[in-house]
Amino acid sequence: MGRRSLKDSFSNALDGIGYAVVSGRNMRIHLLAAVLAILTGVWLGINRHEWVMIFICVFMVLTVETINSALEKTVDLITSKYHPLAKHAKNMAAGAVLFTAVNAVIVGILVFGPYLLKKF
């Protein structure tokens, strides 16, 4: 592989993100949750520091889901046969997504909770 231009690098990255969205049901679910979190933040008028926390969580979940999908595709490329190590690798990557999603929910409760209690 030769040297690629910066434009090619960005193009490849965007292709990868597009593929993750088109091919991954869970990625679409995470994107929907991200949009809902952002809309909720706008509706509630959260402050700058709270936006930072929300965006860190959103991008952490999307990043880990993308890495999980890449790992799954790589394992599937290496072997089509059942192997316990392949199963463990896929399950651990899915566990990493679960960790980040649970973290995002906790942060969402901590950020949005007080605003929602005041509204209702």
Catalytic residue among 41, 57, 65, 66: 65
At 53, list the tokens: 């926390």
Is 50 annotated for ligand binding?
no
CATH architecture of the domain formed by 7-119 = Orthogonal Bundle (1.10)
Q: Is the pLDDT of residue 1 over 80?
A: no
pLDDT, mean of residues 16-28: 96
Q: Is the pLDDT of residue 2 over 80?
A: no
Helix (H) or strand (E) holding 115: helix 84-119
Taking the C-alpha atoms of residue 1 and residue 9, their distance in angstroms, rounded to an integer, is 13
- Residue 99: the pLDDT is 98
65 is catalytic: yes
Helix (H) or strand (E) holding 105: helix 84-119
What's the pTM? 0.91
Q: CB–CB of 24/64 below 8 Å?
A: no
Q: CB–CB of 67/27 below 8 Å?
A: no
pLDDT bin (cut points 50, 70, 90) of residue 4 is confident
